[in-house]
Chain A
Amino acid sequence: MRPAKQIEPPTGTARPHDADAAAGVGAGDGGTGRRRTALLTGGLMAAFGVLVLVALASVALGARSVPLSTVIDAFLAPDASSDHTVIRELRVPRTLLGIGVGAALGLAGAVMQSLTRNPLADPGLLGINEGAALGVTVALALLGVSDPAVYVWFAFAGAAVASVLVYALGSAGRSGSAPVRLALAGVAVGMALTAACSALLRIDSRTFDRMRFWLTGSLAGQDAGTLTRLAPFMVAGVVLGLTLARPLNMLALGDDAGRALGVAVGRTRVLAGLAVTLLCGSATAAAGPLWFVGLAVPHAVRALVGGDQRWVLPYTVVVAPALLLAADVVGRLVARPGEVQVGIMCALLGAPVFMLMARRRRLAAL
């Protein structure tokens, strides 16, 4: 995956600067480094605590809410009651899947934004999740593959092809700013891929019924088997993504500056592309094409902790699943006894934020 174009002259030095300004709560001169580290570590712990709370809520709340004590009993003293079965068989796998998907998409967005120096990069917006979805659809509808560990490879292929297409299209034109061109190219490719998905599903109405909810993005209906089959890919993607923080920091200054500082630019790009493919492919295979998680969370995190990827990436990995799970829980609560799919919730929450962002900020400053 190559960035569309260098969108800003190497003024990337401004980022570490912003980082100090944003996070420098009571920053003096000496010893702030250590204080800052302690502060940020504490913040990360707090975010993790929030994630745990949201996860507990996700296990407890839903079409039929159960008290927290029952939740704890279900783990410590499981019996065959229906509450305990629901929790063990449905809620816990769903929650863990949500954590995995959220972490994957958030991290994918953060890596993409950093790699392309494009603030609008998002796995859904840029059509990569739609590519993965088409891969899954081909596997399910045409080839009859039903093992998640097999069709996830189709998702990887779809995600990789879509990202190459979008970047080629987005860097083709000359006029206009690169982020906007890339976003438009992503929406166009995503739309074409979605149309292809619908056409495929039209052929096979049984698959259509099964995939209708998945296609709008949903955590429902996936069992523990899906989770265990996909988890290795998600973990691999997250680990790979996190190790790229330092080279990505250097590349923020521009390719040439990065190279001058000793970063293997080509290798970093390939590895980052690999990480994004792993993350988007496995997340989409699990929950369908989701939008905006990968866009909003890295933005919010950067506003909090500054531009240092060594903090941005771990924070994103913790905050994104909390947000996704929260959206899922809200979706389960607002339409009881049915539910609003998490994909719809993400768009309903994310799109207005995106529109206001587009209105407020000058693109040059993004």
Chain B
Amino acid sequence: MPESAARLSGSGLTLAYDQRVVAEDLDVTIPDESFTVIIGPNACGKSTLLRALARMLKPREGVVHLDGSVITSLPSKEVARRLGLLPQTSIVPDGITVADLVARGRYPHQRLMRQWSRADEAAVAGAMRATDVAELAERIVDELSGGQRQRVWLAMALAQETPILLLDEPTTFLDISHQIEVLDLCADLHEAGRTMVAVLHDLNQACRYATHLVVMRGGRIVAEGDPSAIVTPELVERVFDLRCEIIADPQTGTPLVIPEARRRACAPAALVEGS
């Protein structure tokens, strides 16, 4: 049994692709019913950690626990009924409609002889309503805009009806209004009682939406907790090599990071890395 009572946690995780170790000895607990955001500079291991929590990547050492059991010991379909994942990239099958794609999210609840129960129907309809794609139901997914498509993928993950939902960079490739749209939707889902875990790039968005922030750098967790409590200029400089000032977000009161006007301290380092 893990020490914490939280539903999802990882302890002593060493994560690696082939020979390349990405993160070592990580301990992380996702507080129940939180909106947890994992953040950090590029290649800090944040997506890798999310993939490990979603059992996409087998940790070289350490274990992930779901509801008190080692996640790999649970039947895969059973896990899929409790924990959903929206991967960073998915492939849209040729010629599929929105309704059909969202319906595929019901897979873990279906069996060979029970392919479309009333519960499936209700869940799909509910997921499409929640993501506001119901009126797109008969459209071909390929023909949608990027923002609409991301909402459809989100609807598919929702239709899975899992109490825990993991999202790998759900706002990448979206313009700012679509980013806010997707994050607002995640916040709604969180308020409806789900545990949300997302990897995000934008520090200010993370501060605004997260109830629990996990800050990573170089494969280690540098800080975690309530954004208002942990986000300080020192932390930002330590993690992102960025001098900044932090003010209260005029809309929400959460921390708002204002980069220093000229980055004298970091410019040479950035040049060396880029060459």
Contact = CB atoms under 8 A, between A and B. Distances in A.
The answer to A–B direct touch (Cβ < 8 A) is yes
Interface of A: 173-175
Interface in B112-155: 142
Which 6 A-B pairs give the minimum distances between C-beta atoms?
Answer: A175-B91, A174-B142, A175-B94, A174-B94, A175-B92, A173-B94
A173 B93 CA distance: 11
Contacts of A175: 91-94
A13 to B, nearest CB: 12
Contacts of A173: 94
Given A174-B142, A175-B93, 6 more contacts: A173-B94, A174-B92, A174-B94, A175-B91, A175-B92, A175-B94
A95 B47 CA distance: 58
B94 to A, nearest CB: 7
A359 to B, nearest CB: 15
Interface of B: 91-94, 142
Contacts of B142: 174
A174 B91 CA distance: 10
A300 B93 CA distance: 37
Contacts of B91: 175
A173 B92 CA distance: 12
Contacts of B93: 175
A175 B91 CA distance: 7
Nearest to B142: A174
Contacts of A174: 92, 94, 142
A175 B95 CA distance: 11
A248 B91 CA distance: 33
A170 to B, nearest CB: 15
A9 B96 CA distance: 28
Nearest to A173: B94
A174 B142 CA distance: 9
8 contacts: A173-B94, A174-B92, A174-B94, A174-B142, A175-B91, A175-B92, A175-B93, A175-B94
A174 B94 CA distance: 8
Contacts of B94: 173-175
Nearest to A175: B91
A175 B96 CA distance: 13
A174 B140 CA distance: 14
A128 B142 CA distance: 31
A174 B96 CA distance: 13
A325 B96 CA distance: 51
Nearest to B91: A175
